[in-house]
A and B are shown apart, each in its own frame.
Chain A
Amino acid sequence: MTHLKTGALAFAAALLMSGSAFAQTRALSYNADFDPTPLAAFQALIADFEAENPDIKVTLNNFDHEGYKTAIRNFLTADSPDLANWYAGNRMAPFVNSGQFLDVSDVWTDNGLGDQLASAKASMTIDGKQWGVPYTYYQWGIYYNKDVYKAAGVEVPTTWDGFIENCAKFQAAGIDCLTTGSKALWPIAGIFDYLNMRTNGYEFHMDLTAGKVAWTDDKVKATFAEWAKVVPYTTENHAAIDWQDAAALLVQGKAANYVMGNFAVATFKEGGMTNDSLGFMVFPEITAGLPRAEEAPTDTIHIPAGAKNVDDAKKFLAFVARADVQTKLNAALGQLPTNKGATVDAADPFISAGFESLSGAYALAQFFDRDAPAEMAKAGMEGFQEFMVKPDRLDAILERLEKARGNIYK
């Protein structure tokens, strides 16, 4: 007991001393939802920021990734930090519309971000103003097992028809052509986004997620017709497994292709794949001649309306947006910088392929659950899952989604 007491005393004394040592500094609190790797990358970034601004002390409160999505609604209204992580696109609309995020357009104009972050500007803009700063994004595409391709004796396809032809050969070899795990629903939204963007183009896809087009439109049906071609070759029971379980199938050579985001590369490599066995391809062309749009979900930092230290928070946003900072940060994250002046690691084939894919893209979509409002995203993804299990129910599913559209976009 006495030990405890002296320990507590020493701790309190240390606290007091550190308090006096930083008496002149201004505090900046930052709520985030980092997994271990990004957390380390951000701790390095914060150290750099503090080295440049010795009078500012950043306190990072890290939340569990899933729990953060609920927690943010509480802390924005109750105990607001000076900075908070969130996502671009429609996902930030509820907070922008309810006045929970600050307009940071001045950070953009003062630092020339409109030009440097041009690719992400549209997704950060609501009502002509910018509401945060993007620090990273990553490409989606098809990851494939090169060994399985070799064993089945097929070439990497360039068109969707070629992809489907390959599928028959994979099936003959007892391999799932396409794998996915839809227990958490979102992985299959990536498949839909690509099929729709490749079949009908970027503008149609954006109109659909914005609720301007009917789900019963013939063009939507055309997308599902393309999807129906690959459903028989997709991993059975995908509804019962998580995306990591499906990644294991690809690693074990039981599946050939996986529509995924670049964050999955770490999982594939943990499973034992290397740059020699893991391949990446841009989602193949379906309707010839359509300009190629890609998925690039963007992660962002915002200033809550209740922030106490807005000036320093803006300084932090400007710092995070800088080209050299984004280069270093994204090298550690293993993702792509949003600043066009930043550079990527040429030795990483997936990063360079992604950089090439996104910089050559006609337009970037965020992701189904960020482009569409939350309720529509949920209803849509459930519909996709049901379609993949029971393709013959397509008409009923589309009717239901159309009904949901009528309720949601008012």
Chain B
Amino acid sequence: MSSYWKRNQLRIAPWLFLAPGAAMFLVYVIIPIFQSLSISFYDWDGLGEAVYIGTENYVELIDDDAFYTSLKNNVIWLLLYLLAVPLGLFLAIFLNQTVRGIRIYKSLFFFPFVVSQVVVGLMFSWFYAPNFGLLYKLIELVTGNGIAILAEEDYVTYGIIVAGLWPQIAYVMILYITGLNNIAPDQVEAARLDGAKGLKMLWYVILPQLRPATFIAVVVTVIGALRSFDLVSIMTDGGPYGSSRVLSFYMYEQALSEYGFRMGYGAAIAVVLFAIMMVFISGFIWKMWRDETER
């Protein structure tokens, strides 16, 4: 026994260290993925008998207006949420200077990320609220007629995205601030001697060195956009009449909310959402793999 261990220690040890994590990953991630996939072929209310109905849930999904509304909103989320990356970069560069009390300013800018999403959602829904909300009053002052952002199907998604961007920008900013600390000063010096400044300096010297930070910022922002659930739930509950739903919220609504409990249909939505996420996740993994092997 002990001689076997001695001979193979180097081969076995990494697997032993990996085992707890791998087991968790298997139980809480991999297996549920396949469970969702299988539930999506059933008609099940979570209590009674699950009836196998083949692809009927997916057929219904293709013909479901609410699904397309959610899908469209997800795309809007994805595109607009990425604004957090350039805006966060701008803030980081803006704050990357040495003045008295800069640490205080940095932490103030970082503050929205520390606040819970629930609080952010509540604050913004009061900001938009008809009759007493600050923004509502401002619009009323300028145009004479207030707009309740969260009651208008055309504005509601944008209103929620703005609320989501606020903490996300702060997050991206922090990523870039740490990135900026690691910029090689000699390269900046050399570029300066060669006459580079302003945007050229940013584009050709600073940004390439920030690539790892940009990569992480894009990853967390894309994932954040796709799982945008809490803000939708708090600010509008998917309303008015379902026009601010996103896929993750629609899945929750169908499977777990008060009027839902269609587990199969919810699982079908989850599978579609997973497929969309998989496109991005594979992209990210592929990039990481390439970076690792190039070295």
Contacts and interface: CB of A to CB of B under 8 A. Distances in A.
B261 interface: yes
Interface in A346-405: 369, 374-375, 377-378, 382-383, 385-386, 389, 400
Contacts of A26: none
25 contacts: A66-B258, A70-B257, A73-B261, A76-B47, A94-B45, A95-B47, A98-B45, A98-B48, A183-B239, A184-B237, A185-B239, A236-B130, A237-B131, A237-B148, A239-B148, A239-B150, A239-B239, A240-B148, A240-B150, A374-B260, A375-B259, A375-B262, A378-B253, A378-B260, A386-B240
A407 interface: yes
Contact of A386 (B241, B259, B262): B241
A238 interface: yes
Contact of A382 (B45, B236, B241): B241
B47 A98 contact: yes
Interface string A251-285: 00000000000000000000000000000000000
Interface of A: 66, 69-70, 73, 76-77, 94-95, 97-98, 100, 182-185, 236-241, 369, 374-375, 377-378, 382-383, 385-386, 389, 400, 407
B151 interface: yes
Nearest to B262: A375
Interface in B51-65: 60, 65
Interface of B: 45-48, 60, 65, 128-131, 146, 148-151, 153, 236-237, 239-242, 253, 256-262
Nearest to B265: A375
Contacts of A385: 239-241
A176 to B, nearest CB: 11
B243 to A, nearest CB: 9
Contacts of B46: 73
A98 B237 CA distance: 29
A400 B237 contact: no
Top-10 shortest CB links A-B: A240-B151, A378-B259, A239-B240, A237-B148, A239-B151, A237-B130, A386-B241, A98-B48, A98-B47, A240-B148
Contacts, number: 78
B241 A369 contact: no
B259 A374 contact: yes
Given A239-B151, A239-B239, A375-B262, 18 more contacts: A69-B258, A70-B256, A73-B46, A73-B47, A73-B261, A94-B45, A183-B237, A237-B131, A239-B150, A240-B130, A240-B150, A240-B240, A382-B242, A383-B241, A385-B239, A385-B241, A386-B240, A389-B240
Contacts of B148: 236-237, 239-240
B65 A400 contact: yes
A407 B63 CA distance: 11
B241 A389 contact: yes
Contacts of A76: 47
Contacts of B253: 378
B232 to A, nearest CB: 13
Nearest to A384: B241
Contact of A369 (B48, B128, B259): B259
A252 to B, nearest CB: 10
Task: Tell me the dominant secondary structure on chain B's binding face.
Answer: loop
Contact of A241 (B129, B149, B153, B237): B129
A182 B131 CA distance: 16
Q: Which of A73, A97, A100, A240 neighbours the largest number of chain B CB atoms within 10 Å of its CB?
A: A240
Contacts of A382: 239, 241-242
Nearest to B132: A245
A77 B257 CA distance: 18
Contacts of A400: 65
B261 A389 contact: no
Contacts of B149: 240
Contacts of B153: 389
A400 B63 CA distance: 11
A201 B236 CA distance: 34
A184 B131 CA distance: 18
A138 to B, nearest CB: 20
Contacts of B242: 382
Contacts of A238: 151
A185 B236 CA distance: 11
Q: Which of B253, B256, B258, B262 neighbours the largest number of chain A CB atoms within 10 Å of its CB?
A: B258
Nearest to A66: B258
Contacts of B262: 375
A18 to B, nearest CB: 36
B287 to A, nearest CB: 40
A109 B129 CA distance: 53
A98 to B, nearest CB: 4
B130 A377 contact: no
Contact of A240 (B48, B128, B256, B261): B128
Nearest to A252: B131
B47 A77 contact: yes
A253 B258 CA distance: 34
B240 A377 contact: no
A226 B130 CA distance: 27
Nearest to A375: B259
A378 B130 CA distance: 25
Contacts of A389: 151, 153, 240-241
Contacts of A66: 258
A405 B153 CA distance: 24
A382 B237 CA distance: 12
B147 to A, nearest CB: 9
Contacts of A374: 258-261
Contacts of B129: 240-241
Contacts of B47: 73, 76-77, 94-95, 98, 100
Contacts of B239: 182-183, 185, 239, 382, 385
A241 B130 contact: yes
Given A97-B48, A389-B151, A70 B130 contact: no
A66 B248 CA distance: 20
B274 to A, nearest CB: 23
A66 B237 CA distance: 14
A100 B48 CA distance: 9
Nearest to B133: A240
